[in-house]
Amino acid sequence: MPTTYQLYIGGAWRDAADGATFPAINPVDQQPWAHLPQAGSADVDAAVAAAREAFDGGWKHTNGLTRATLMQRLAELLEADAERMAQLETTDNGKVIRETRVQMRFAARNYRYFAGWADKLHGESIPLDRPELVDFTTREPRGVAALITSWNSPMAILANKLAPALAAGCTVVIKPSEMASVTTLAFAELCEKAGFPAGVVNVVTGDGSVGAALTGHPGIDLISFTGGTATGKAISRVAAEHLTPVTLELGGKSANIVFADADLEQAVTGAVAGIFAAAGQTCIAGSRLLVQREIYDRVVAQVCERARAIRVGDPRDEATEMGPVATQAQHQRVLAFIQRAREQGATLAVGGGVPQGEAYDRGYFVEPTVFTEVAPDAELAQEEVFGPVLAIIPFDNEEEAIAIANGTAYGLVAGLWTQNLARAHRVARRLEVGGVWVNTYRTNAAQAPFGGVKASGIGRERGLHALDEYLEIKNLMIDLSSEARDPFAIRT
Ligand code: NAD
């Protein structure tokens, strides 16, 4: 029997005001396995009002130690429940269990990291030109935050937002993706158990209309969004009406660049991790593999061999390396990209279709797919596929590698594989991205800032700078003198 979930608003569980629901579909067999409430504008109003009441009613005045203690308790609860949460997330979005387990622990690590900052949000004492003026800053929570997440890593992405929001003293209304909402509601139960006051954390579920109602709501003080670039632009337009600050974590077309002096075994593993982990459904997918000409044939041969050997199957099986893609729409979209790449003349080296066999009949499976000799301006080298499809592109020298890497609208991350320290620094400096990995890929840390430039987004998550997104700086200037002044000239 599918489980029925409820909205979490003002510390209470309730159905959508009009009783509407939608099903959660398991991408392995296309079966509905849970029922979720489809919120309407009345539910969004109620959630924003609850978050406002909790903010003004006390949360903004809590001391950092209180917030940190609650957040550490939440992290403990998530760690204790990691296996169940990982199973739920794998059932919801088809991501392999070996990754969702790691993601639950990583989410908990983020709550612990930001808990550590909650009681250290001090401002600065600023010496001015006039010694009789005392100046200092304080940092205050911005207010009610709308947190909107995508389906590919609901818990990990939520932690990037919720952990700094809670540490800063904001209250939140969360809107997970309609494609994978179950773990967010299960997580709200953990927030309740941890003892957060009613209204600090609220969850509304449903399709994009719920996100639109939330981001356009005048009661929202900031928006943090992870999802597609087109949705990010739509949210920015709406936010402009209310001058609401926005953090956007959007798409990518990241380059993984292998120089001839790289440790090739490491680099090939990095290439596989970059594109086939999570069936390519990650914003940081290294979907373009740029390989220096001298080693091109060797790297292509090794990547193809590794791609052919990937165990595709049920993501709940520990041995599975690649599960299905998350939705029917995504399945069709990825296959259409592959078809167009073939028509446009890229060389298909591995995969290119749906794996054959009974085990794959009912799920949204796609073969690990490798195209070689892809032109840097081809659709496959420019557009985000969000699937297990790699475009390999040869290059001759550093200059050319940098030009190709920078030659897309996106700018999320890049990978560099080289044993030459000077080259690593030289190239990293010139890449138009928010983060560069050298001799590693898809390695995350709670302390290291993450985010994109260009069409990949605005703002940073994780690390100390993430707090800035949720805090306002207030300046306090005090005149210790009783000097007479000219009221008609500004004082400096
Ligand atoms: P999406 O943009 O379709 O949806 C994301 C969220 O926005 C969902 O909760 C959706 O319901 C909501 N939404 C849809 N329309 C809205 C509107 N008009 N106003 C407000 N909210 C609205 O993205 P997706 O398909 O769920 O996720 C895939 C995309 O997310 C990819 O492009 C991927 O690169 C990106 N992504 C980025 C990061 C990152 O950190 N940079 C991480 C993961 C995924």
Domain-embedded: residue 480: no
What is the distance in A from the centroid of ligand 1 to the CA of 224? 11
What angle is formed at CA 445 by the lines to CA 441 and CA 418, rounded to 5 degrees? Answer: 30
Show the DSSP H helices in 25-130 as ranges: 41-56, 64-80, 82-93, 97-118
CATH, residue 311: 3.40.309.10
Note if 249 is an active site residue.
Answer: yes
Would you tell me how many other CB atoms lie within 10 Å of the CB of residue 422?
8
Q: Which atom of ligand 1 is nearest to the CA of 160?
A: 40
Catalytic residue among 99, 178, 249, 461: 249
- Name residues contacting ligand 1 (CB within 6 A): 148-152, 157, 175-178, 207-208, 211-212, 215, 226-228, 231, 234-235, 249-252, 283, 384, 386, 412, 452, 457
Same domain as 380, residue 294: yes
Would you tell me how many other CB atoms lie within 10 Å of the CB of residue 297?
12
Degrees (nearest 5) of the Cα angle 210, 84, 67? 65
What is the span of the domain harbouring residue 262? 255-438
Alpha-carbon span 264 to 469, nearest angstrom: 39
Tens-level pLDDT at each residue, the chain (492 residues): 789 999 999 999 999 999 999 999 999 999 999 999 999 999 999 999 999 999 999 999 999 999 999 999 999 999 999 999 999 999 999 999 999 999 999 999 999 999 999 999 999 999 999 999 999 999 999 999 999 999 999 999 999 999 999 999 999 999 999 999 999 999 999 999 999 999 999 999 999 999 999 999 999 999 999 999 999 999 999 999 999 999 999 999 999 999 999 999 999 999 999 999 999 999 999 999 999 999 999 999 999 999 999 999 999 999 999 999 999 999 999 999 999 999 999 999 999 999 999 989 999 999 999 999 999 999 999 999 999 999 999 999 999 999 999 999 999 999 999 999 999 999 999 999 999 999 999 999 999 999 999 999 999 999 999 999 999 999 999 999 999 999 999 998
State which ligand 1 atom lies nearest to the alpha carbon of 461: 40
The single residue listed with the structure tokens 């939520």 is 158
Distance in angstroms (rounded) separating the CA atoms of residues 185 and 188: 5
Q: Within this chain, do residues 200 and 331 fall inside the same structural domain, yes or no? A: no
Domains of the chain: total:
2
Contacts of 69 (CB under 8 A, 6+ apart): 115
Structure letter (DSSP) for residue 417: E
The residue whose CA has the least distance to atom 16 of ligand 1 is: 208
Residue 449 placed within a domain: no
Q: Is position 485 within any domain? A: no
Residues 330 and 389 in one domain: yes
Site to substitute for ligand 1 among 161, 182, 231, 283, most atoms within 8 A of C-beta = 231
Are 216 and 310 members of one domain? no
| Cα-to-chain-centroid distance, residue 44 | 23
How far is residue 137's CA from residue 51's CA, in Å, rounded to a whole number? 26
State the helix-helix crossing angle for 97-118 and 154-168, rounded to 10 degrees.
Answer: 10
Q: CA 30, CA 328: separation in Å to the nearest integer?
A: 9
282 CA → ligand 1 middle, Å: 11
444: in domain: no
- Residue 52 within a domain: yes
Assess whether 54 and 70 both reside in one domain. Answer: yes
Strand pairing class (31-37; 3-4): parallel
Looking at the fold, whether 211 and 334 belong to one and the same domain comes out as no
How remote is the CA of residue 12 from the centroid of ligand 1, in Å?
A: 27
> Pocket of ligand 1, candidates 147, 148, 150, 210: which has the most ligand atoms within 8 Å of its Cβ, to mutate?
150
Instruction: For residue 214, give the ligand 1 atom closest to its CA.
Output: 20
Whether residue 239 is contained in a domain is answered as yes
The model scores a pTM over 0.85: yes
385 and 348 within one domain: yes
Question: Distances in Å between the alpha carbon of 265 and those of 271, 272, 273?
Answer: 10, 11, 12
Distance from Cα 228 to the centre of ligand 1, integer Å: 4
Residue 21 has phi, psi (to 5 degrees) of -135, 165
Residue 213 and residue 346 in one domain: no
**Is 232 a member of any domain?**
yes
Pair 28, 130 in one domain: yes
Does a structural domain hold residue 175? yes
State which ligand 1 atom lies nearest to the alpha carbon of 231.
2
- 463 and 372 in one domain? no
The answer to whether residues 471 and 334 belong to one domain is no
If asked whether residues 355 and 397 sit together in one domain, one would say yes
Determine the distance separating the centroid of ligand 1 and the alpha carbon of 259, expressed in angstroms: 33
